[in-house]
Amino acid sequence: MATVARPAEEMPRPNIPSANIQLPAVRSYQQVNDEIIATLTPTGAWFIGLGIAITCLLIGIGTWIYQIYMGLGVAGYNPPVMWGVYIITFVFWIGIGHAGTLISAILYLFRAGFRTTIYRCAEAMTVFAVMTAGLFPILHLGRPWKFFWLIPYPHWRFIWPNFKSPLVWDVFAILTYLTVSTTFLFVGLVPDIAALRDRETNPVRKRIYSILSLGWRNSDREWRHFTRAYLFLAAFSTPLVLSVHSVVSFDFAMALVPGWHATIFPPYFVAGAIFSGLGMVFTIIIPLRRWFGLRHYVTINHLDAAAKLCLFTSLVVGLAYMTEFWVAWFSGNKVEQEYFLNRVFGQWWWAAWIMLTCNMILPLTLFSQRLRRNTTWLFILSLFINLGMWFERFVIVVPSLSHEYEPWQWTTYAPTWVDWSILLGSFGWFSMWFLLFIKQFPVIAIAEVKEIIPPRLRTHTATTDIDAAGQHVDYSPETPGEHD
């Protein structure tokens, strides 16, 4: 077909409207099925990765058993720093869990085309991140075997949870979020599972897929209700995703601890959550597209568009950081002011500066299109963002508690190997689920990709030539910018 060689001086090309990103290299529905389902065959590397993940998980489990038997004292808690690595990691994972629903739901409502090929991956990430996060509130309890007392169920004691406690809101926010995002993921998967089912030869797997696909047949009636239901789910998930992290932020904002007691927390947390989520999306999808050879599905333009979103959230987060300091100064509250001084220049200056550097300063590089389209840099940056967001939560939890109203109780905090290995275990748990997922289900939504590629028509074949807006010409490995 016609490959138009583009003159070099056209670089850098103008920005692509993110609503209208096409997949020139994908031509037929057939090709979509072939290429995507091909990624499901397990490889050696995959088994090795899974092995590592499970090892980490086992380390975490072993440590937890030790902690349950001995008591929380084996962790590095140092009263009045009553919350530590566990709560930090809980908020960290919940934050990660926000990008998925954002991309799949909010961007769906906004009709942002670049979501199509990355949302399945992000959504899976969300579900597993929330599954991971959900463990930590239980894990940090003094008596974890009593966690179900937080759930309102009728029993002979006649006593119920306290619905005025942010922790109970948490329970419901997280359970709701987990249920809804899982449903969302599954509903979106059903047509693709049907595709797998029809292609599968192994009888056992075929049976499983048939059950999971609920007998989906791509009939017009199914599609009609499906699209409608999907829309409503998206419409529900959008406020939900905003509420969940607001509720998580209430855990802090509702307390009168200096550094916590701030009305800015909900928006601040939501922005931070989406920011960290996008970071994790990059961390996952950049190696994945290379590994699975899906670079013509998740094109550099998709990453470019996502990077813009990332930059935006980073700016919001940075603004929130600055606002906190301003409020502390403007409130005239001496306790608050002392705390914020201590945060940046005191005991915990290093944590604060890691946070500011990774979340506020480094992402500014995304203003450069060249860096936005450089996957290596995006990947490195995403690692920094993950680190920075973990430390943001560290800075929120630890310095506040260690420097409160009572000077006599000012103290310090040092995690022990127990905290660290449980943190490691959480990464193992997350990666295990994710690795299992990507080899059982398509990481790119087959049916939705088919939506955006031109259908075969009797009259003519759809054109994929370059257009004035600088949209893609035919895909060929040499085309600059289409892959790296």
Partner 1 sequence: MRGVLGVFRELDSAVDAITALRQAKAGSITVYTPTPRHEFEHALAHGPSVVRRFTLIGGLLGATFGYWIAIWISEYWPMVVGGKPIPSWVPYTVFGFEVMVLVGALSTVFGLFAVARLPRLMMTVGYDPRFTEGDYGIWVECPPDREAKVTEVLQQNGAVEVRRER
Partner 2 sequence: MTTRKKWAVYPGLVALAAAAVLLSAVSGGSTPQGRAPQQPIIFPHNPHVVGLQMNCLYCHSSANKSPDPGLPAMSTCMGCHTVIGPRRPDGTARPEVAKLQQFAAKNQPIPWIRIHKVPDYVQFPHMRHVNAGVTCQQCHGPVQDMLPVYQQQNLNMGWCISCHIQQQVRYDCSVCHY
Partner 3 sequence: MSDTTQQTGVRRREFLKILGVTSAGAATVGCGPSEAGRLIPYLVSPDQTVPGVSTYFATTCRECAAGCGVIAETRDGRAIKLEGNPEHPINRGAICARGQAALQGLYNPDRFTGPRVKRNGQWADITWAEAVQLFRQRLDEARSGGRAGDVVFLNRHETGSFPFFLDQWLSQMGLPPHLAVDPILDHAVIAANREAYGVAWPSLSFADARLIVSFDADFLDSWGATVAHQLDFADARAKLRDAPRFVYIGARRSLTGLNADEWIPVRSGSELAVANALLAAVRGAGRADVAAAAQAADVPAETLQRLGAELASARPSLVLSGVTTVQARDVARVVNAINQAAGNVGRTIRPAEPLSSFEGAESMAELGSAVERMRDGRVPLLMVRGVNPVFTMPKSAQVAEALGRVPFKVAFTSYPDETAELCDLVLPDHHPLESWGDAQVLPNVVSLQQPAMDPVFRTRATADVLLEVAMAGTPPAPGRPVDYRSWLIGRFPGGAAAFATALATGLTSGTTPRVTPRAPRPEAAPTPAPVEGEGDFAFIVYPSPVLGADGANKPWLQELPDPVSKICWQSWVEIHPESAARMDIQPGDVVEVQGPGGTVRAPAYLYPGLQRETVAMAFGRGHTAYGRFAKDVGANPLDALSPGFDRAGMAAWSGSRVRVRKAGDYVQLVTTEGSARQHGRGIGRALAVNELGRGGASGEEHAGGHVIPGDASHEPLPGLRAPIAADAEGDLRDPKKNEVGMYDPAHPTGMAKRRWAMTIDLARCTGCSACVTACYAENNIPTVGAAYQSGHTQGLPKTAGANILRSREMAWIRLERYWEGDEASPDFETRFVPMLCQHCGNAPCEPVCPVFATYHSPDGLNVQVYNRCVGTRYCSNNCPYKVRYFNWFGYGETDRPQYAWPEPLNWQLNPDVTVRGKGVMEKCTFCVQRIREAENRARAEGRELVPDEFTVACAQACPSRAIVFGDAADEQWTVARQVRDERAYHVFEELNTFTAVVYLKKVTYPAPAAAAPAAAGGE
CA–CA dist 260, 401 (Å, integer): 9
Interacting partner of 243 out of partner 2, partner 3, partner 1, none (Cβ under 5 to 8 A depending on kind): partner 1
Task: Print the binding letters for residues 121-150 with partner 3: x by CB under 8 A, - otherwise.
Answer: ----------------x--xxxx--xx-xx
Task: Print the binding letters for residues 444-483 with partner 3: x by CB under 8 A, - otherwise.
Answer: ----------------------------------------
- Report, in Å, the least distance between residue 453 CB and partner 3: 50
- Report, in Å, the least distance between residue 423 CB and partner 3: 15
From the list 153, 163, 232, 408, which residue makes contact with partner 2 (rule: CB under 8 A)?
153
Which CB atom, from 156 or from 408, has the smaller least distance to partner 2? 156
Long-range contacts of 459-465 (CB under 8 A, 24+ apart): 464/1, 464/22, 464/24, 464/27, 465/2, 465/4
- Report, in Å, the least distance between residue 135 CB and partner 3: 15
373 φ/ψ angles, rounded to the nearest 5 degrees? -95, 10
Cβ neighbours around 243 below 10 Å, total:
16
**Please, how many CA atoms are within 13 Å of residue 195, restricted to the half-sphere of its CB?**
24
- Residue 190: burial class (beta carbons within 10 Å; 0-12, 13-18, 19+): middle
Q: Output the DSSP codes for 137-150.
A: HHHT-SSGGGGGGG
Q: What is the dihedral of CA 431, 365, 267, 270, to 10 degrees?
A: -10
Task: Check residue 164 for interaction with partner 3 (CB under 8 A).
Answer: yes
Q: Which stretch binds partner 3 (CB under 8 A): 80-88, 239-247, 436-444, 475-483?
A: 80-88
Interacting partner of 218 out of partner 1, partner 3, partner 2, none (Cβ under 5 to 8 A depending on kind): partner 1
From the list 30, 111, 145, 158, which residue makes contact with partner 2 (rule: CB under 8 A)?
158
Q: Report which DSSP code applies to 443.
A: S
Report how far Cα 427 is from the mean position of its chain's Cα atoms: 13
CA–CA dist 63, 65 (Å, integer): 5
- Report, in Å, the least distance between residue 158 CB and partner 2: 5
Per-residue CA distances from 97 to 180, 242, 244, 473 (Å): 12, 12, 10, 36
Encoded tokens for 85: 């690595």
Task: Check residue 154 for interaction with partner 2 (CB under 8 A).
Answer: yes
- Report, in Å, the least distance between residue 152 CB and partner 2: 10
Are 151 and 162 in contact, with CB atoms under 8 Å apart? no
Residues 405-424 close enough to bind partner 3 by CB under 8 A: 405-411, 414, 416-418
> 357: which residues sit within 8 A by CB, 6+ positions away?
384, 388
Task: Check residue 330 for interaction with partner 3 (CB under 8 A).
Answer: no
From the list 69, 145, 156, 408, which residue makes contact with partner 2 (rule: CB under 8 A)?
156
Interacting partner of 11 out of partner 1, partner 3, partner 2, none (Cβ under 5 to 8 A depending on kind): none
Task: Check residue 157 for interaction with partner 2 (CB under 8 A).
Answer: yes
39 φ/ψ angles, rounded to the nearest 5 degrees? -70, -10
Q: Which stretch binds partner 2 (CB under 8 A): 150-158, 218-226, 375-383, 421-429?
A: 150-158
- Report, in Å, the least distance between residue 155 CB and partner 3: 10
Q: Report which DSSP code applies to 8.
A: G
User: For 112, left (φ over 0), alpha (ψ -120 to 50), or beta?
Assistant: beta
Interacting partner of 7 out of partner 3, partner 1, partner 2, none (Cβ under 5 to 8 A depending on kind): none
Give the interface size with partner 2 as a residue count (CB under 8 A).
Answer: 7
Encoded tokens for 383: 């690692």
Task: Check residue 74 for interaction with partner 3 (CB under 8 A).
Answer: yes
- Residue 8: burial class (beta carbons within 10 Å; 0-12, 13-18, 19+): exposed
Map residue 78 onto helix, strand or coil.
Answer: strand
Task: Check residue 256 for interaction with partner 3 (CB under 8 A).
Answer: yes
Binding residues for partner 1 (CB under 8 A): 28-30, 33, 152, 158-164, 168-169, 172-173, 175-176, 179-180, 183-184, 187, 191, 194-195, 197-199, 210, 214-229, 232-233, 236-237, 239-240, 243, 247, 250, 447-448, 450-451, 455-459
Which CB atom, from 72 or from 194, has the smaller least distance to partner 3? 72
Residues that bind partner 2 (CB under 8 A): 153-159
Residues that bind partner 3 (CB under 8 A): 70-80, 82-83, 137, 140-143, 146-147, 149-150, 157, 159-162, 164-168, 171, 251, 254-257, 331-335, 338, 401, 404-411, 414, 416-418
